Structure 1
Amino acid sequence: MGSATAQALVASSSALNAAQGITLEAAGELFSAMRLIGDSSALSGALADSAAPADARAALVSRVFSGASAPVQELVKTAVAQRWSSAADLVDGVEELAVRATAIAAPDVDIEGELFSVTRLVADNADLELALGSRLGDGDGKAALVQKLVGTRLNPATTLIVTSLVSRPRERRVRRLLSRAMRIVSAQRDRIVATVSTAAPLTAEQRTRLGDVLAGRYGRRIALNEVIDPSVVGGLRVQVADDVIDGSIAARLADLRQKLAG
């Protein structure tokens, strides 16, 4: 990510946090704006052209997105007023705003956990991942496929994110899209995601205790995603971003074998 894009994201996110009346409908409008901008190289190029007067870009937003609500129009105007490293970064930026807006609109929904469950569903089904990642097929058809698979298991907020992303993957792998969305939601809620691999499901007390320990270590609230993995044997394997804490019996046995072999 270029420094210009990083600054543009900060400014756009700040505008979103200051905005009033961010609903799930507004988040949907932002996803629609992302699709419209991303589907037209001419439009994305014009909106991301920092050499063009800001007033001209704002006027273009007013014309193209005249049907959007006032808060959404203002957010898109704020986004295009920034300097982005590329037109593709602008599209990514509007997509991030849409995900953040969804998190704002549904503060009590475990969006990260539900996104993680969809990620596991895709990871466990090679045919599904192939179908969603294929360049063939209609984006709306892929969204409908996911909608059919998850049914009513997901909250509408999570469903909005998942269907919006798979309909316009822009040559990105589905699991990468969902993982990015999880990170964005966690960042919006000022917490980080920890993936916990364990041989048996954690009890509520164990989850609470582990969350407290990790929060103390990282200085942030923790969103726990649990993976049942028999190969862990016992103990836990915790991953937070690139940091891995492996306290499993399998890891200790592997370490012992390595020491004996040396």
Structure 2
Amino acid sequence: MAGVSTESLKKVETALTANTAVSPDHLAQELFAIADVIDNDGSLRRGLVDPARSEEARAGIVKSVLGGKVSEAAVNVVSTAAAARWSHERDLADALETSAVSALAISAEQRGGVEALETVINELLTFVNSVNGSAEAQSALTDDRATDEAKKKLALVLAGNPDSTEGRILVERASSTPRGTTPARLAESFVETIVERQHRSIARVETATPLTEAQIEKLRAGLSKAYGKELKLDITVEPELIGGLRVQVGDEMMDGSVQTRLNELNRSFN
């Protein structure tokens, strides 16, 4: 999101924080469902983002449509979202989906603190890496002939059968309702939302051979110092690199692999 939508998302996040004292996991499920309704109902979506309507009128639509059907907390969050301004129609549902992910992060924190939240992140990353490493899994999860339930069951297996309720909800969501992207990319965005709440970023590391715990800690410390913030390492082993590391943080790629240097040498002879 950009511009006015980014500022609006902050307002929604503030409303979310004020409404997650009780059952944040239930609130997340409601927000996911409401986002789906908005995605599928063009008339409702346009009414909720119509800048010609007053903030009160847009919030009033939410209360008339959702009142008595979902929790008061959900109505409060969605009313705040509807009263805000959005750069694009889709941004409203995107904001509700992001808020649902944040609600699940809050749920994990309330249940088990940082350790529980780290478990959810690792479960999502297991799913992402399993899907990205298997063309068969990618095909199965994007097959229009497969039911949502079948995709959810496969996704849970690919995620290592998550222990956390939050991890299961997010993996099932990514696999069954990718909203125009792929399940793996959506799950990655869920991870980014969660780590951003902790003022962290993801460093995706590819290594030719497995790293020891000491090497991982040294790498984490060095990268965190270089970027001026704590980084969560997502490490995968890629033997074709031959040696060295490939690290991506955001849009920035650092490639010190032997394979890349060989490729560059080959190009120099062409």
TM-score range, shorter chain: 0.7 to 0.9
TM-score (norm 1): 0.88
Three-state SS of the structure 2 residue aligned to 1:106 is helix
CA apart distance, 1:79: 0.9
Match of 2:5 in 1: 5
Match of 1:96 in 2: 98
Return the letter of the residue paired with 2:14. Answer: S
Three-state SS of the structure 1 residue aligned to 2:247 is strand
Match of 2:74 in 1: 72
**Most deviating of 62-71 and 146-155:** 146-155
Match of 2:128 in 1: 119
d(CA) in 2 for partners of 1:163 and 1:113?
15
How much identity, in percent, do the aligned residues show?
A: 31
Match of 1:203 in 2: 212
Query: With CA pairs under 8 Å and 6+ residues apart, which has the higher RCO, 1 or 2?
Result: 1
TM-score (norm 2): 0.86
CA displacement, residues 64-103 of structure 1 (integer Å, 9 cap, x when unaligned): 3333222222111111111112321111111111112212
- Structure 2 counterparts to residues 145-224 of structure 1, below 5 A: 145-147=154-156, 149-150=158-159, 152-224=161-233
The alignment covers a number of residue pairs equal to: 261
d(CA) in 2 for partners of 1:99 and 1:124?
25
Three-state SS of the structure 1 residue aligned to 2:216 is helix
2:174–2:184 contact (8 Å) kept in structure 1? no
Match of 2:39 in 1: 38
CA apart distance, 1:169: 2.0
Gap runs ≥5 in structure 2: none
2:127–2:155 contact (8 Å) kept in structure 1? no
CA-atom RMSD in angstroms: 2.4
d(CA) in 2 for partners of 1:203 and 1:2?
40
Return the letter of the residue paired with 1:203. Answer: T
Summarize the Cα distance change of 1:20–1:118 in structure 2 as closer, same or farther, 3 Å threshold: closer
1:21–1:71 contact (8 Å) kept in structure 2? no
d(CA) in 1 for partners of 2:212 and 2:159?
25
**Most deviating of 139-148 and 240-249:** 139-148
Gap runs ≥5 in structure 1: none
CA apart distance, 1:44: 1.7
Match of 2:57 in 1: 56
Three-state SS of the structure 2 residue aligned to 1:103 is helix
Summarize the Cα distance change of 1:166–1:48 in structure 2 as closer, same or farther, 3 Å threshold: farther
d(CA) in 2 for partners of 1:249 and 1:50?
54
Say yes or no: does 1:226 pair with 2:235.
yes
CA apart distance, 1:175: 2.2
1:112–1:223 contact (8 Å) kept in structure 2? no
